[in-house]
Amino acid sequence: MEAPWFILSHRYGGDTSDPTAKELSAALDEVYEENHPSMTRADYEEHPSAYVRYGTDTGPMYVLYIGRSKAATLEQWADQDYGEELSEPLTIENVSRDQALDMWKKLQSGQIEALCSDFNLQGKR
């Protein structure tokens, strides 16, 4: 069985492989705290989210975006080339920073069913 990989893509660019909890938290700070002195509203809109990817070289791959609108979107792909979507994206609104961190950590640890359950349960409210 292939070993999975986990990659954090920061809001303003750059990737971190196998990020620590502290690095995940800092990436969410960039999304939830729009207080950078040199950034404008247009800058924030141009870079609306940070995301993580979890998968293996042969697939599948899961991508979890956390956006400045406080929405979380989970995508499921056949492989890392984004060639074939396995299902429609799942989205939930009004995700707190703590919820977002918890979801990223679930994906990092491969808890796919638990993560999907978060989306299904919150989507029915």
pLDDT of residue 121: 63
Task: Tell me the pLDDT of the chain averaged across its residues.
Answer: 92
Dihedral of CA atoms 57, 62, 65, 71 in degrees, nearest 10, equals 180
Residue percentage of the chain with pLDDT more than 90: 76
pTM, rounded to two decimals? 0.91
**What are the pLDDT digits (tens) for 92-121?**
999 999 999 999 999 999 999 999 998 876
